[in-house]
A and B are shown apart, each in its own frame.
Chain A
Amino acid sequence: MAVYKRTYKSFTGILTPEWSRLLVIPRYAWASLFQQRFLTILYVLCFFYPLGAALVIYLNSNLDFLRQYIPIRQGGLLQIDGMFFFTFTGVQATLAFILTAFIGPGLMSPDLMHNALPLYFCRPLTRTQYIAGKMLVLTGLLSAITWVPGLLLFLLQASLAPVEWFKTNYWIAGSIVGGFLLWIVLISLMALALSAWVRWKVIAGALMLVVLFVGAGLSQMIKEVMRSDWGQYLDIVSNMTRVWMQMYGVQAEHPLSLEESVMALAAFSALFLLLISQKVKPFEVVRG
């Protein structure tokens, strides 16, 4: 319809499939996020460590070239194994968390601030799809700086190292994907929960750090005062590290068993989901 023909008209074209509509949410969110220069720079910075790691893997497989310039011991530059990817996971997970603290709080709060949820839910879009769409904003962005480069590093190493390396370490690929996805889901849920409950972006971002550090602090306090390890359940990072240690085959002391850490993380995820579902409603009943 031309602009000058101003009249009401039904839409007679073909509609997009219903399942695809939740993808509209991340598409618009990404477009909006990358208009912010600071976030774009931060996002680009997140790729520096994987690039450095790729360089290390390459050089480690081309020691003869390096030996021309620096003396290198017989065993090689460093060993590319579970521990290498465990360290990689730790660094990228930290960057992912920082990125989430900046992006996450702005995902739901603008919708809640001006009561936009009824506009979503009066359309063929369910609450689950809405939350999944918002989750996709973070999982998409974070995947690109975590398990995707991790997997590329693994493939790079597998292509450069003798085939025996792959035969011994093929399971690392699963650990990279699984370990990062667990972290991404956990911090995405945390960000959305805080975004839903705290409408000021800056405060919600700060609260993410608080949740992380207060948990660790409380855990340490309980340990010192009560001589008990149960405070460790409150430390999200410690629990996640315990799971990663198991996944990457890293042997180190940890006060909690794998099962206990998994349970703690599951409880945190359930809590965050509950908080989200409490707020993501098309309307609030005011009980008089």
Chain B
Amino acid sequence: MTSPPVIELEQLTVRLGNREILKGLTGQLKARTIGLLGPNGAGKSTLIQTLLGFIQPTSGTARILGHDIRSERSAVHGLVGYMPENDSFISHMSAVGFVRYMAELSGLPAEAALERAHEALFYVGLGEARYRKLGDYSLGMKQMAKLAQAIVHGPKLVILDEPTNGLDPAARVRMVKLIQEMRDSGSVNLVLCSHLLKDVEETCEEVLILKGGRLVHVSNLAEERRMNKRFLELETQGSRNGFLDAAREIGCECADLGNGRVKLVLGDGVEVKEIYRLAGERDLQLRRLSHRRDSLEDIFLRAMENND
């Protein structure tokens, strides 16, 4: 049996007051880690809040791990852990008390909740500070406490809204590492909403880009990276005619750009060393060979430009 998509959007429309914030979003996201990108006001936070059932869709619906957000809200909440963007805590509680409280509200029995609260706080690096009041925590520690409460009940999907907000570089690296570890554990799906492309690039396998409430691009980053590896740009010296024909014969797509420059897409099963061999056999000098480096920033900017 195939597992359902992590997030499935079906003509999801949200209107707040007179403004349409999300405009008929449709798509499926299946990767273990999903990045949610978009400029300010694109509707990222509204989408998260709609998925969490905080906002009722005006029309359409969405499913999280196969559960409809409209009709199976309780089931959805049972599967999800949420780390909000802004400060969210109860200042007079100790971290361990707070995380345990949240675990119990998620349905964990009291003893298990206490045990997991300790574990979660150690996991996020707050083990030594877990008896301190949350109100006394630094911004970075509060972020980690928010992450601890989001994962304490062992959800199937963790939604992280700007998790690296306000963190210093060292804390940011720690947060990204934690997200990568969770991803690699294989037992949780992650949705990461961030305006920091670097964070998304380092952690996510799939990205969804929103602009003006519309879904403008869904991209599988792993697939893009694989594709990039097959896309070569060459600078050559000498006659290229025989070389281009030979490359086509082994299944590559080629384009001669003039001035010795060649663009080339490797065919299935063709390795770069084959290109070196073909050039060597024809005494063609390869002055430069580079893979296309289509960063997430390129993908993002292209999505923005294409939808202006």
Contacts and interface: CB of A to CB of B under 8 A. Distances in A.
Interface stretch (A10-18, A96-104, A146-154, A170-178): A10-18
Given A1-B119, A114-B87, A114-B89, A287 B17 contact: yes
Given A24-B104, A122-B82, A124-B107, A11 B88 contact: no
A49 B267 CA distance: 91
B108 interface: yes
Interface size class of A (residues with CB under 8 A): 35 or more
B16 interface: yes
Given A119-B82, A122-B52, A122-B80, A13 B119 contact: no
B231 interface: no
Contact of A118 (B54, B112, B118): B54
Contacts of B104: 16, 21, 24
Nearest to A7: B185
Given A122-B52, A124-B106, A114 B78 contact: no
B32 interface: no
B58 interface: no
Interface string A70-113: 00000000000000000000000000000000000000001101
B116 interface: yes
Interface string A1-41: 10100111111111110100100110010001000000000
Nearest to B121: A3
A116 B88 contact: yes
A285 interface: yes
A252 B50 CA distance: 56
A165 interface: no
Given A11-B108, A21-B107, A124-B106, A3 B119 contact: yes
Contact of A121 (B54, B112, B154): B54
Query: Interface residues of A: mostly helix, strand, loop or mixed?
Result: loop
Contact of A13 (B17, B53, B108): B108
B91 interface: yes
A21 to B, nearest CB: 6
B230 interface: no
Contact of A283 (B54, B107, B108, B188): B54
* Chain B interface size range: 35 or more
A15 B49 contact: no
A125 interface: yes
Contacts of A119: 82, 84, 88-89, 102, 149
B187 interface: yes
A17 B182 CA distance: 28
A124 B79 CA distance: 9
Nearest to B116: A11
B226 to A, nearest CB: 27
A9 B153 contact: no
A115 interface: yes
A24 B101 contact: yes
Interface of B: 16-17, 49, 52-55, 74, 77-78, 80-82, 84, 86-93, 97, 101-102, 104-109, 112, 116, 118-119, 122-123, 127, 149, 151, 153-156, 181-182, 185, 187-188
Given A8-B151, A15-B108, 13 more contacts: A7-B185, A10-B187, A11-B112, A15-B78, A18-B107, A21-B106, A32-B92, A114-B90, A116-B90, A118-B84, A122-B81, A124-B77, A125-B105
